[in-house]
């Protein structure tokens, strides 16, 4: 079999390429020209920002966390909103988007099977995978059987083109009619907004696999990046997401910037969302400690410190590793106890679980300090 990079270049996809090139040119040439020669009213900027928010959040909260990963369930009114404004983002139907994204998670970093594999370069993972008819991008809906039972998803897929055209032109023309400047709103709400939402989404496939930290899985290309999270409605915590993809949150700490998480929580409070899935705190702490152990072990193996110093570090690392295994065994025993005992005993076991979580947090701090101590001077 030929290597992926040695295979003949597939044909260009004319419609997609024309869309990306034309909208980008209009945004970088037409929008500045109009701003300098005529000028945009504040209402046009406001409408653009709002429409960016509606379309972007429909991708993150709808296409991604609701449909691709089933991290929560949503009322039909919310699903309809996501289907309509998600179509306005022009990133394909829910069915096609979710199918491709599930393949990405299943075969992540596999050059032949991951549709937007980061290993094939920054350009490919950002936009190149959509410009040509690559075999890795072929549609296969066998992995979205559950979504075929959602009538809104099926309806949107069947009528995707007319829905997309309507949702891209109608709002801009309507606001333009109300404000008396349809061209300004078509440029900002229609074209510039589309380019912004496109590349914000694409940055998660590209930059979020190149730039950032890997606190939960040091082997994955996916990385946590708070800067990208700010521009992508919270999707920048990508290392966590790839390690815990069924969690409705991407930013797990209260101060992590994750508007998508906040919207889903608000929808739950309003009765529009339910069954919000969260990974247990212990599992998250376990992943952090395991990662720090591996990184510290690697640094110890590569250090040029004196033998007496490396022996001390090695003994400390061995002790931390034994404590980590003891925590795991204790946690498993407590989980079994919770599943088979009375309510009062379960309450006590849960308190014990929280105690183990605190121990793991303290261990993570010790490992981080040890890791920094090993840093070359």
Q: Is the pLDDT of residue 4 over 60?
A: no
Residue 212, sorted as left (phi over 0), alpha (psi -120 to 50) or beta, turns out to be left
Same domain? For 366 and 258 the reply is no
pTM: 0.89
Q: What are phi and psi of 183, to 5 degrees?
A: -70, -40
Tell me how far CA of residue 324 lies from CA of 291, 336, 356, 374, in angstroms: 12, 19, 10, 20
Same domain? For 236 and 297 the reply is no
Query: Which residue matches tokens 């739950």?
Result: 268
Same domain? For 87 and 175 the reply is yes
Quote the pLDDT of residue 345.
Answer: 60
Same domain? For 28 and 65 the reply is yes
Query: Which residue matches tokens 């003891």?
Result: 326
Residue ending a domain, choose from 274, 292, 313: 274
Render the burial of 250-273: b for 16+ CB within 10 Å, e for the rest.
Answer: bbbeeebbbbbbebbbebbeeebb
Residue ending a domain, choose from 274, 297, 325: 274
Model pLDDT for residues 7-30, shown as the tens digit of each residue: 578 999 999 999 999 999 999 999
Tell me how far CA of residue 174 lies from CA of 50, 177, 185, in angstroms: 14, 5, 9
Same domain? For 124 and 151 the reply is yes
Helix (H, G, I), strand (E, B), or coil: what is residue 73? strand
How crowded is residue 345: how many other Cβ atoms within 10 Å of its Cβ?
12
Residues whose CB falls within 8 Å of the CB of residue 285, separated by 6 or more in sequence, listed in order: 357, 360, 361, 364
Same domain? For 309 and 161 the reply is no
Parallel/antiparallel/unpaired status of strands 73-74 and 273-274: antiparallel
Residue, of 330 and 31, whose pLDDT is higher: 31
Same domain? For 45 and 172 the reply is yes
Rounded to whole angstroms, the Cα distance separating 256 from 233 reads: 11
Tell me the pLDDT of the chain averaged across its residues.
90
- Domain carrying residue 145: 4-274
Contact indicator for 223, 210 with CB cutoff of 8 Å: yes
Same domain? For 241 and 335 the reply is no
Residue ending a domain, choose from 216, 241, 274: 274
Residues whose CB falls within 8 Å of the CB of residue 312, separated by 6 or more in sequence, listed in order: none
Same domain? For 235 and 292 the reply is no
Model pLDDT for residues 53-70, shown as the tens digit of each residue: 999 999 999 999 999 999
Rounded to whole angstroms, the Cα distance separating 267 from 99 reads: 25
Same domain? For 232 and 118 the reply is yes
> Span 325-332, mean pLDDT?
80
Domain count within the chain: 2
Rounded to whole angstroms, the Cα distance separating 208 from 213 reads: 10
Contact indicator for 135, 129 with CB cutoff of 8 Å: no
Rounded to whole angstroms, the Cα distance separating 246 from 279 reads: 8
> Span 349-373, mean pLDDT?
79
Same domain? For 167 and 236 the reply is yes
> Span 252-266, mean pLDDT?
95
Quote the pLDDT of residue 5.
Answer: 46
Same domain? For 173 and 290 the reply is no
């Amino acid at each position: 079999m030929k290597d992926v990079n040695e295979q003949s270049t597939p044909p260009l996809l004319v419609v997609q390429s024309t869309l990306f090139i034309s909208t980008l040119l209009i945004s970088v040439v037409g929008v500045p020209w109009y701003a300098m020669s005529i000028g945009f009213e504040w209402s046009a900027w406001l409408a653009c920002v709002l429409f960016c928010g509606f379309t972007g959040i429909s991708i993150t909260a709808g296409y991604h966390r609701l449909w691709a990963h089933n991290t929560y369930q949503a009322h039909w009114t919310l699903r309809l909103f996501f289907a309509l404004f998600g179509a306005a983002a022009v990133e394909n139907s829910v069915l096609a988007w979710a199918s491709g994204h599930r393949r990405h998670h299943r075969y992540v970093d596999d050059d032949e099977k991951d549709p937007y594999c980061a290993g094939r370069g920054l350009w490919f993972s950002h936009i190149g995978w959509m410009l040509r008819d690559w075999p890795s991008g072929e549609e296969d809906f066998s992995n979205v059987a559950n979504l075929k039972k959602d009538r809104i998803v099926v309806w949107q897929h069947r009528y995707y083109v007319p829905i997309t055209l309507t949702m891209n032109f109608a709002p801009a023309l309507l606001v333009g009619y109300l404000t008396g400047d349809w061209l300004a709103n078509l440029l900002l709400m229609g074209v510039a907004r589309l380019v912004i939402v496109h590349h914000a989404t694409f940055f998660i496939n590209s930059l979020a696999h190149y730039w950032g930290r890997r606190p939960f899985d040091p082997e994955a290309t996916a990385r946590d990046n708070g800067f990208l999270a700010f521009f992508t409605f919270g999707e920048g915590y990508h290392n966590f997401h790839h390690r815990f993809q069924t969690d409705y949150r991407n930013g797990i700490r209260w101060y992590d910037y994750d508007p998508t998480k906040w919207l889903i929580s608000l929808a739950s409070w309003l009765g529009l969302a339910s069954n919000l899935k969260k990974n247990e705190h212990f599992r998250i702490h376990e992943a952090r400690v395991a990662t720090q152990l591996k990184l510290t072990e690697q640094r110890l193996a590569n250090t040029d410190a004196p033998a007496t110093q490396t022996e001390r570090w090695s003994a400390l690392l061995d002790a931390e590793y034994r404590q980590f295994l003891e925590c795991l065994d204790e946690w498993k025993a407590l989980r079994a106890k919770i599943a088979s005992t009375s309510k009062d005993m379960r309450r006590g076991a849960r308190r014990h679980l929280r105690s183990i979580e605190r121990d793991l947090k303290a261990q993570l701090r010790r490992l981080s300090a040890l890791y920094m101590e090993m840093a070359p001077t």
